[in-house]
Amino acid sequence: MRLEPIAAPSLARRVGLPLAALAATVVIGMAVVLVAGAEPFAVLGLIVKGAVGSKFALLETLNRATPLIFTGLAVAVAFRAKLWNIGAEAQLYLGAVVTVLLGTGTLAWPAPLLLPALGLAAALAGALTLLGPAWAKARLGVDEVVTTLLLNFIVLLFVSMLLEGPMKDPMGMGWPKSERLIAEARLPRIVEGLRLHWGFGLALIAAVIVWLIQTRTTFGYAMRAVGQNARTARFVGIPVGAVTLGTALLSGSLAGLAGFSEVAGLKGNLTLDLSPGFGYTGIVVAMLALLHPLGVVVAALFVAGIFVGADSMSRAAGVPSYIADILLATALLLMVLALPMTRFRVRWR
C-alpha cells in the first residue's frame, strides 16, 4: 500500500474522519462491555450520567479536568516544538512539593500575595525539572523521551522520601502525608459550598495565554518552526537550542501549576496519590486536541468525563473502571490514524 497526498481534502473528509474515529471508539468500547457480560447501552448511559448527569457529577468532571488542562497544555506546547515531554508527572509533583513547602506557614502572607507567589514557585519548580532533560537534548543529543520518563520514577521516590521524612505531618497518624496548607494558601471555591475551585479558572486562563503566545509572538513562531524542521529553522537563523530551552520552561511551568492547583485548590495537602497519572493522561489530552491549546480544554473535559463517568458506572454496574483507559487508548490510536487520513488517501497495489 501507498499513501497519496490529497491536494484539496473535502470538508466531509476533514470533519468526518475524526468523528468516525470517535464513533469507532464507542463501538469498540461497547464490544468490550459486552465481553464483560454487561448491557452495552446501559453502561454507556451510566457513563454519561456519571459524568454530566447531575450538578455534582458535572462539577466533579470540571474538577477532574483542571489538572488535565494544565498537563495537556504542557505536553501540547512541547510536542509542537518536537520536545517530547513525557515527564509532566514529575513536574506536577515537584510543583506540589514547592506549594506545600511554602504554603504550610513558611510564608505568612495574605492570600492576594501568597497565592501568586505559590503559583509562581510551583511553575518554576516544574520548569526547572524539565530544563535538565531539555538541556541534555539540546547540547548532547540525549533522547528526552527516556530521560523525562525515568525522572518520573526518581521524583516519585523523592516525594515518597520527603513524605516519610522531613515533610511528614507529625499529626498524620503515621501516614506518609504532608501538613495541610494554611487558609491563606487555599484557592477559593468558584461557588461557595461546591467543590469546584479557582484552579479551573486559572487553567482556562493558561490555555488562552498559551494560545496567544503560539499565535501572536515571535517565540511562538520560532517554536513552530523548530518543531516543523529544526534544520531549516537553524538555517534561517532561529537559535534552536534556546528555543528548545524556552519551550521546556513554558511546558514545565504549566505542569508545575497542575501540582499547585491540585494541592491549593482540591486536596489541601500532599500525598503520594495526588496524581493518578495526570502527566501521562495529559499526553492523550494533547493528542486528542491536535496539540491546539484551546482544543486542550475541550479534550480535557472529554477525558475527565470518561474517567469520572467510568468510576461512577463501575460502582453501579460492576464493570471494571479500567474501561476508561481502554476507551482513551483506543480513541488516541484511532485519532492519530484518522488525522493524516484526512490529507492522504491509501492506494493498494
Residue 333, CA distances (Å) to 25, 34, 298 in order: 10, 21, 18
What is the nearest approach in angstroms of other proteins to the Cβ of residue 162? 9
Considering the complex, state which of residue 157 and residue 212 has its C-beta at the smaller distance from other proteins.
157
What is the nearest approach in angstroms of other proteins to the Cβ of residue 115? 31
Whole-angstrom distance, CA of residue 17 vs CA of residue 106: 53
Whole-angstrom distance, CA of residue 56 vs CA of residue 97: 29
What is the nearest approach in angstroms of other proteins to the Cβ of residue 204? 26
What is the nearest approach in angstroms of other proteins to the Cβ of residue 334? 9
What is the nearest approach in angstroms of other proteins to the Cβ of residue 200? 25
Whole-angstrom distance, CA of residue 83 vs CA of residue 246: 11
Considering the complex, state which of residue 221 and residue 280 has its C-beta at the smaller distance from other proteins.
280
Task: For CA atoms 116, 207, 286, 57, give the dihedral sign.
Answer: positive
Considering the complex, state which of residue 47 and residue 287 has its C-beta at the smaller distance from other proteins.
287
Do residues 80 and 214 make contact, with C-beta atoms less than 8 angstroms apart?
yes
What is the nearest approach in angstroms of other proteins to the Cβ of residue 202? 27
**Contacting positions for other proteins (CB under 8 A):** 1-3, 32, 35-37, 84, 86, 136, 140-143, 145-147, 149-151, 153-154, 157-158, 160-161, 164-165, 280, 283-284, 287, 320, 322-326, 328-330, 332-333, 336-337, 340
Considering the complex, state which of residue 116 and residue 340 has its C-beta at the smaller distance from other proteins.
340
Considering the complex, state which of residue 67 and residue 119 has its C-beta at the smaller distance from other proteins.
67
Considering the complex, state which of residue 247 and residue 261 has its C-beta at the smaller distance from other proteins.
247
